[in-house]
């Protein structure tokens, strides 16, 4: 498998269920050890952490945390042990929340948010780490059309206005039109760069659950 | 009111027991907060039982190798501390390792740990009649036996636990809420998990020695569950759990003193009563909110 991402690109990982999209993603962010080969970054991960947005089901909504506290966790990436988040980190968290359009919900309970709002809060948390690469694992899974559009709008703005490199796994192929620079088709242990129009062909959509 | 005045007056006979009670009431919930958040409440039952098994084993070992022991001797207390810590920390280590490897479901592992610990405690005691009397007191909650010396040790150890919990709250929260994000950020997840488990193990070991498994488990769980119904921030959750635990321990102590009841069970009963009342209040509040909506 050979895959290269250029700075400022917006790339989607596509492929059938069980093809290894999430596995590839988890390898890229360091959650899985690579058995063979290497993954290289053109930035220092210690000073420029990866912004990671997990599937929202991975997080326990019963934790007594406000939206602001969750976003503040993004700033922990750059904070050493024993240093608590200060005024600068709180401001950064508030700005990140504003960027995803949810500044008004800062004091709401994280667990009380809708699926779409939760995803945008997790994007804000990733932004609070001030990343150069934003990696998202199925950010539009289980959210309605309106929320999907809102999430993609946020990601598009971050990519175009701030030059953030975005890599995401999704099954919602059609929402990528006009947004993604390229798609990477993952199947049978291979990752192949393709044009989005090729993937949007009806025959391919048959093997992408939710893609039609 | 007269009980309150008597309990709070200088030179109160059971002053050390009172301070020990309140201290355990404050610190156990601070640790229990993470048990509740990580959905490992049953670990709060299994670990104190494991700690009790360690104490029984230490006493049995002493009898086998040195001879009959005097329970008022300082060496007994040291021996018991070592036994409690070795068994508790060993148990945490094994459970944490199995959790990482994802073998069997969590509840099954903890349930088996509890069953093994309970059986071992009884078997060790059956082999050591001297240890039995001490363990019976311990299982009831032997806070009244708190001495100035044991209280000093308890204050030092639990004080260190509180400092550690607040100093590394950011790290403990991150690995508890989003383990994966901590890995992505390059944090030493294994170290922070181990530190948290170590702090839990120390608290439980000393809690069981001072107050018994029942009190330790009761205060690990009931005050955090109550606090979760009342708070929405992580810090206020921890502080409220500690405050509720301390207040329940104090109230339980006063009631036990006034009505001549066993101390440990009285404290746990108060903590559980508060949980029931607050839970009922939260439910009513929720129903009223739904109707209004």
Segment holding B222, helix H or strand E? helix B213-230
Average pLDDT over residues B214-243: 94
The ipTM is 0.89
Mean pLDDT of A113-132: 94
Q: Would the CB atoms of A69 and B237 count as touching at under 8 Å?
A: no
Taking a C-beta distance cutoff of 8 angstroms, is the pair A74, A127 a contact? yes
Q: Are B184 and A59 within 8 A, CB to CB?
A: no
> Considering the entire predicted model, what is its pTM?
0.86
Cβ-in-10-Å burial (0-12, 13-18, 19+) of A88 comes to exposed
Which of B100, B106, B170 to probe the A interface (max A CBs under 10 A)?
B170
Pick the residue of B184, B244, B282 with the most A CBs within 10 A to test the interface with A by mutation.
Answer: B184
Instruction: Give chain A's mean pLDDT.
Output: 87
- For the cut 50, the answer to whether the pLDDT of residue A122 exceeds it is yes
Tell me, yes or no, if A29 comes closer than 8 A to chain B by beta carbon: yes
d(CA B22, CA B45): 20
CA separation for the pair A158, A193 (Å, rounded) = 22
- Selected residue with higher pLDDT from B172 and A210: B172
pLDDT tens profile B47-61: 888 988 998 888 888
pLDDT tens digit sequence for A155-199: 999 999 989 999 999 887 878 888 888 889 888 878 888 877 777
In angstroms, the first-to-last Cα distance of chain B is 43
- Would you give the DSSP letter of residue A81? T
């Amino acid at each position: 498998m050979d895959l290269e991402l250029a700075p400022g690109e917006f790339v989607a990982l596509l492929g059938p269920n069980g093809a290894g999209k999430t596995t590839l993603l988890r390898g890229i962010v360091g959650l899985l050890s690579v058995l063979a080969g290497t993954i290289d970054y053109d930035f220092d991960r210690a000073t420029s952490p990866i912004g990671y947005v997990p599937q929202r089901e991975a997080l326990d909504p019963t934790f007594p945390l406000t939206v602001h506290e969750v976003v503040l966790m993004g700033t922990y990436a750059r904070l050493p042990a024993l240093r608590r988040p200060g005024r600068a980190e709180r401001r950064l968290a508030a700005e990140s929340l504003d960027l995803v359009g949810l500044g008004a919900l800062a004091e709401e309970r994280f667990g009380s948010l809708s699926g779409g709002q939760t995803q945008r809060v997790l994007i804000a948390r990733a932004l609070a780490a001030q990343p150069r690469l934003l990696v998202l694992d199925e950010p539009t899974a289980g959210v309605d059309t309106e929320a999907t559009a809102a999430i993609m709008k946020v990601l598009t703005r971050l990519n175009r206005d701030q030059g953030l490199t975005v890599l995401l796994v999704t099954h919602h192929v059609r929402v990528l039109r006009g947004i993604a620079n390229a798609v990477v088709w993952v199947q049978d242990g291979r990752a192949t760069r393709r044009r989005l129009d090729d993937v949007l062909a009806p025959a391919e959509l048959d093997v992408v659950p939710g893609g039609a | 009111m007269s009980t309150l005045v008597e309990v709070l007056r200088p030179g109160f006979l059971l002053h050390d027991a009172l301070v020990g009670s309140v201290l355990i009431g404050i610190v156990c919930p601070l640790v229990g907060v993470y048990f509740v958040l990580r959905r490992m409440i049953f670990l709060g039952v299994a670990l104190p039982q494991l700690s009790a098994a360690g104490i029984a084993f230490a006493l049995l070992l002493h009898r086998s190798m040195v001879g009959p022991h005097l329970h008022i001797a300082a060496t007994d207390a040291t021996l018991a501390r070592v036994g409690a810590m070795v068994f508790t920390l060993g148990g945490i280590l094994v459970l944490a390792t199995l959790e990482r490897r994802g073998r069997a479901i969590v509840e099954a592992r903890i349930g088996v740990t509890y069953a093994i610990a309970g059986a071992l405690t009884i078997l060790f005691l059956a082999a050591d009649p001297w240890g039995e009397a001490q363990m019976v007191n311990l299982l009831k909650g032997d806070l009244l036996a708190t001495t100035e010396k044991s209280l000093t040790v308890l204050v030092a150890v639990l004080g260190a636990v509180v400092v550690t919990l607040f100093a590394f709250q950011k790290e403990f929260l991150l690995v508890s809420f989003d383990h994966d994000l901590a890995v992505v950020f390059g944090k030493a997840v294994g170290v922070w998990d181990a530190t948290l488990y170590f702090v839990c193990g120390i608290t439980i070991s000393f809690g069981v020695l001072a107050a018994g498994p029942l009190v330790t488990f009761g205060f690990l769980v009931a005050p955090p569950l109550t606090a979760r119904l009342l708070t929405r921030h992580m810090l206020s959750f921890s502080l409220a759990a500690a405050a509720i635990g301390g207040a329940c321990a104090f109230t339980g102590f006063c009631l036990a003193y006034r009505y001549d009841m066993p101390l440990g069970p009285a404290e746990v009963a108060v903590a559980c009563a508060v949980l029931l009342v607050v839970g009922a209040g939260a439910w009513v509040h929720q129903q009223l909110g739904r109707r209004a909506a």
